[in-house]
Structure 1
Amino acid sequence: MKQLDLEKIRTLIKYFIIQHNIKSILLAISGGQDSIYLINILETLKKQLFQTKIEISYIYIDHQWKPSSHKQVKHIINYIKLIKSRIIIYQIKGITLSEDECRKFRYHIISKHAAKYKFQLIMTGHSSTDIIETFVQNITKGSGIESLNNLAIKSKIFQDAFILRPLLGLDRNTIYWICKKFCLPIWSDSTNYLYKIQRNRIRQELIPYIRKYLHNNIEKNIKSLINNYYYQNEYIKQSVIKLYLKSRHNKRTAISHKKINAQNFLLQIKIIQLFCFDNFQIYLESSKIIKVIHKINNQSLNFSKIMTYNDLIFLINRNWFYLRIKI
């Protein structure tokens, strides 16, 4: 079974590179088992399959959270030297951020680096375990359905550039077994056992507890739930786009509130969100949109101001809901 999984990963990467004619790859690594295994796959494919030259570069973001950070950086540099490749290391000093902020910061640095040096493909070592942990984290934050599955195998990040997460079909235990089999130099990160980090507590305590005392197939069930949510979310997004296009004014920045009010309450929220983003590139929170919807329903059809938001004024006039910039 594990050997079959390995072939699937190799085939996925090979097919993606060929399909999109990829010539340059930037792999974001951590030094952990996931990224080390991904390095092994890429270097093997480069030697065995691709006749044309593919540029592979590695990037590591060092937050310098712990005293041993320099040792981990040295370990990564030595391994990259061993395989005769190159790595770029960004060191962040004196900034204490939350786990979410650090993740966004890393993606920002990696994306800017990829854009600056024109890499066609960014790869990360996220596994199916990361999907499950992110899902649990998002539930505790009260995230909506669109945020419960925010890790896709592939996505387009900017013009002619993609991000690929080929290991999402493997869990951490399987990847650990593979690394041991091939004697890959995994860095044992002590911060993985700090329970003040929420993800570690989910990984080390919550999931094992549920598996032992509540349901031994918890990971499989969460994966199935995420798949269901994905298809539900795609259906909602397609419905919202269709309804928004039908309700738009053909000349003005407005939508028909009568057509919107006839829809499901969730669709009403999403249509107004899309309306605001499409015209003014702002994301209006659901709580504010709910207030707008209630005010629209309670207003007469005469010209009336609903609410203000930053430099925008929400108005209603006859059958139309308007968004106007303050003068």
Structure 2
Amino acid sequence: MKQLDLEKIRTLIKYFIIQYNVTNILLAISGGQDSLYLINILETLKQQLFKIKLQISYIYIDHQWKQTSLQQIKHIINYIKLMKSSITIYQISKITLSEDECRTFRYNIILQHAAKYKFELVITGHNATDTIETFIQNIIKGSGIESLNNLAIKSKILQDTFILRPLLKLDREMIYWICKKFYLPIWSDSTNYVYKIQRNRIRQELIPYIKKYLHKNIEYNIKSLIHHYYYQNEYIKQSVIKLYLKSQHCKRTAISHQKIKTQNFLLQIKIIQLFCFDNFQMYLENSKIIKVINKINSKSLNLSRIMTYNHFIFFINNNWFYLSIKIY
């Protein structure tokens, strides 16, 4: 079974490289078991696909949280040197334990680096265990269904750049077994045991507690739930797009409120969100959208200004809901 999973990962990456004619790859690494396993796969594929002439580069983001940060960087550099590849290291001087803030830093740096050097494919080491932990974090935050399964194996991040997360089907224990099998030099990260970081609490305390005292198959059940949520979310998105296109005005920045008010409340929210973003790249808060929907659904409606928001005016005229820019 383990060997079968290994072949699936190799095949997935190889297929993606060939299908999209990828020649320039950026791998975001941490020095942990996930990134070391991916380095092993990519360097092997580089030799197997010698006709393609793959260029593989690595990027590492150092938050400088721990006293051993410099030693870890040296360890990573020495290992990449053995591969005869290049690595770029960014150091974040602001010390913080906010996981959301650090994730934003990392993503923006990787995105800017990929755009600057025209990488066609960015690969990260997110695994199935990460997906479960992210799911629990999003539930704690009260996120909507679209945020509960926000890690996709493949997505487009720039016009000519994809991001691939090939390890999403493998859990952390499986990847650890693989690294041991190939004698890969895993760096033990002490920040994984800092309990001020919410993800560490979930990983080290919450999930083991649930498995022991509440339900031993909690991880499998969450995976199944994420799988179902994915299809539910895709159905909602497709329905919203279809309804939005049918509701659009042929000439003006407007949609038919008569068609909107007959829909499910959730679809009404999503259609108005899409309307605002499609025309003005504006994300409207749920509280504002609900105010708009309540006005649209009211019985007496002819010509009415609903509200102003930043530099925009929302108003109704006959059967149409309009969004216009405020003129000073």
TM-score normalised by structure 2 residue count: 0.97
The answer to whether the Cα contact below 8 Å between 2:34 and 2:126 also exists between their aligned partners in 1 is yes
Q: Distance in 2 between matches of 1:128 and 1:216?
A: 17
Tell me which residue corresponds to 2:160.
Answer: 160
1:154 aligned partner, one-letter code: K
Q: Are 2:265 and 1:268 aligned? A: no
Q: Are 2:88 and 1:88 aligned? A: yes
Q: Distance in 1 between matches of 2:245 and 2:17?
A: 36
The answer to whether the Cα contact below 8 Å between 2:261 and 2:296 also exists between their aligned partners in 1 is no
What are the ranges of 5 or more consecutive residues in structure 1 without an aligned counterpart?
none
| 1:130-173, Cα deviation, whole Å (9 max, x unpaired) | 10000000000000000111111111111221100111110000
Of residues 257-266 and 283-292 in structure 1, the stretch that sits farther from structure 2 once superposed is: 283-292
Q: Are 2:197 and 1:179 aligned? A: no
Shift of 1:299: 6.4
Shift of 1:20: 0.8
Tell me which residue corresponds to 2:120.
Answer: 120
3-state SS of paired residue (2:93): coil
Shift of 1:96: 2.8
Tell me which residue corresponds to 1:29.
Answer: 29
1:168 aligned partner, one-letter code: L
Q: Distance in 1 between matches of 2:272 and 2:49?
A: 50
Tell me which residue corresponds to 2:9.
Answer: 9
Q: Are 2:316 and 1:311 aligned? A: no
1:184 aligned partner, one-letter code: L
Q: Distance in 2 between matches of 1:94 and 1:174?
A: 34
Shift of 1:97: 6.0
Tell me which residue corresponds to 1:111.
Answer: 111
Shift of 1:200: 0.5
The answer to whether the Cα contact below 8 Å between 2:12 and 2:166 also exists between their aligned partners in 1 is yes
Tell me which residue corresponds to 2:247.
Answer: 247
Shift of 1:296: 2.4
- Corresponding pairs, count: 327
Tell me which residue corresponds to 2:210.
Answer: 210
Tell me which residue corresponds to 1:196.
Answer: 196
Of residues 52-61 and 300-309 in structure 1, the stretch that sits farther from structure 2 once superposed is: 300-309
Q: Distance in 2 between matches of 1:245 and 1:41?
A: 44
Shift of 1:95: 4.6
Q: CA RMSD in A?
A: 1.1
The answer to whether the Cα contact below 8 Å between 2:98 and 2:197 also exists between their aligned partners in 1 is no
Of residues 89-98 and 264-273 in structure 1, the stretch that sits farther from structure 2 once superposed is: 89-98
3-state SS of paired residue (2:233): helix
What are the ranges of 5 or more consecutive residues in structure 2 without an aligned counterpart?
none
Q: Distance in 1 between matches of 2:242 and 2:133?
A: 33
1:183 aligned partner, one-letter code: Y
Shift of 1:302: 2.4
Q: Distance in 2 between matches of 1:282 and 1:148?
A: 22
Tell me which residue corresponds to 1:282.
Answer: 282
Q: 1:97 to 1:308 in 2, by over 3 A?
A: farther
Q: Distance in 2 between matches of 1:94 and 1:325?
A: 38
1:320 aligned partner, one-letter code: W
Of residues 274-283 and 286-295 in structure 1, the stretch that sits farther from structure 2 once superposed is: 286-295
Tell me which residue corresponds to 2:233.
Answer: 233
| 1:6-49, Cα deviation, whole Å (9 max, x unpaired) | 01101111111111111010000000010011101111111234
Tell me which residue corresponds to 2:74.
Answer: 74
TM-score normalised by structure 1 residue count: 0.98
Q: Are 2:222 and 1:222 aligned? A: yes
Shift of 1:295: 2.2
Q: Distance in 1 between matches of 2:206 and 2:175?
A: 21
| 1:91-119, Cα deviation, whole Å (9 max, x unpaired) | 11035362112111111110111111111
Q: Distance in 1 between matches of 2:94 and 2:283?
A: 31
3-state SS of paired residue (2:302): coil
Q: Distance in 2 between matches of 1:95 and 1:299?
A: 55
